[in-house]
Amino acid sequence: MSNIMKRKKNLLKSVILIVALMGIAFSVFNVIKNKDNDYIDKLIEKYSPQGAAIAVIENGEITEVRNYGYSNIESKSLVNNETQFKIASISKSITSYAVMKLVDEGKLNLDEPINTYLTKWKIPDTEFDENKLTLRTLMSHTSGITGSNEIGYESPLPTIEDALKIRDIKLKREPGEVFEYSEFAGLGICQLIIEEVTGEKFEKYMEDEVFKKLGMNNTNYDNEIGDNLLAVPYAGINKQIKVTPIVMNGGGGVSTTASDLAKFTIELINYHNNGDGEMFKAQKNTESVGGKYGLGIIPRELKNGKTVYEHNGTLTGWNAQMVMEPISKDGIVILTNSDKAFFLTYELMEKWGEKAVGEKVIDTKINTLVDMVYKCIAVLCAILTLLIIIFIIKVKKCKIVLLERKKRNRKYLISAIFCTLLAVIYFVSVYTEITFKLLFNMNDYYVFTFFPPSFVWVNVLLSLFAVFIVLRSGYAKANKKHLRMRM
We report the CATH number of the domain holding residue 43 as 3.40.710.10
- Clarify whether residues 106 and 153 are in a common domain: yes
Last residue of a domain, one of 306, 335, 362: 362
Please tell me the predicted confidence (pLDDT) of residue 33.
41
Residues 107 and 153 in one domain: yes
487 residues of the chain, pLDDT tens digit each: 455 555 556 555 655 666 565 665 555 444 444 444 489 999 999 999 999 999 999 999 999 999 999 999 999 999 999 999 999 999 999 999 999 999 999 999 999 999 999 999 999 999 999 999 999 999 999 999 999 888 878 889 999 999 999 999 999 999 999 999 999 999 999 999 999 999 999 999 999 999 999 999 999 999 877 655 899 999 999 999 999 889 999 999 999 999 999 999 999 999 999 999 999 999 999 999 889 999 999 999 999 999 999 999 999 999 999 999 999 999 999 999 999 999 999 999 999 999 999 999 999 999 999 999 999 999 999 999 999 999 999 999 889 999 999 999 999 999 999 999 999 999 999 999 999 999 988 889 999 999 999 999 999 999 999 999 999 999 998 875 554 555 4
Helices (H), 33-83: 39-47
Same domain, 11 and 135: no
pLDDT of residue 315: 94
Would you state the pLDDT for residue 35?
A: 43
Residue 108, Cβ neighbours under 10 Å: how many?
21
Shared domain check, 187 and 285: yes
Tell me the C-alpha distance between 25 and 370, whole Å. Answer: 19
What does each C-alpha distance from 209 to 201, 203, 402 come to in angstroms?
12, 10, 79
pLDDT of residue 10: 59
Assess whether the previous peptide bond of 452 is cis (omega < 30° from 0): no
Q: Could you tell me if 190 and 336 lie in one domain?
A: yes
The Cα 89–Cα 315 span in angstroms is 8
Does residue 349 sit in the same domain as residue 457?
no
**Are residue 355 and residue 378 in the same domain, yes or no?**
no
Contacts of 69 (CB under 8 A, 6+ apart): 49, 50, 51, 52, 78, 79
d(CA 131, CA 99) in angstroms, rounded, equals 19
**pLDDT, position 36:** 42
Residues 403 and 287 in one domain: no
Same domain, 409 and 445: yes
Q: What is the pLDDT of residue 441?
A: 86
Whether residues 19 and 159 fall in one domain: no
* Whole-angstrom distance, CA of residue 433 vs CA of residue 327: 44
Output the CA torsion sign for 323, 352, 354, 60.
negative
Question: Does residue 115 sit in the same domain as residue 206?
Answer: yes
Helix (H, G, I), strand (E, B) or coil at 64: strand
Residue type (1 letter), 286: T
What torsion do the CA atoms of 275, 345, 312, 435 make, to the nearest 10 degrees? Answer: 180
CB neighbour class for 373 (10 Å; exposed up to 12, middle 13-18, buried from 19): middle
Which of 310, 335, 362 lies at the terminal end of a domain, its last residue? 362
| pLDDT value of position 278 | 98
The angle subtended at Cα 255 by Cα 320 and Cα 207, nearest 5°, is 130
Residue 22 neighbours by CB distance under 10 Å: 18
Question: Which among 321, 308, 274, 283 has a CA at the least distance from the CA of 87?
Answer: 321
Instruction: Quote the pLDDT of residue 135.
Output: 99
Residues 6+ apart with CB under 8 A from 435: 429, 447
β-strands 400-402, 330-336 pairing? unpaired
As a whole number of Å, the end-to-end CA separation of the chain is 10
DSSP letters of 123-143?
PPP-SS-GGG-BHHHHHTT-S
Inter-CA distances, 374 with 104, 377, 445, Å: 47, 5, 23
* Residue (of 176, 167, 172) closest to 248 by Cα position: 167
Nearest to 219 by CA among 159, 267, 270: 267
pLDDT of residue 251: 97
pLDDT number for residue 478: 82
- CB atoms under 10 Å from CB of 73, counted, come to 15
Tell me the residue range of the domain where 442 lies.
Answer: 2-31+368-486
Number of domains present in the structure of the chain: 2
Of 362, 382, 406, which residue is a domain's last? 362
Q: Say if residue 284 is in the same domain as residue 358.
A: yes
Q: Give the per-residue pLDDT at 23.
A: 61
Cβ–Cβ < 8 Å for 317, 337: yes
Global model pTM greater than 0.85? yes
SS3 (DSSP) at 154: coil
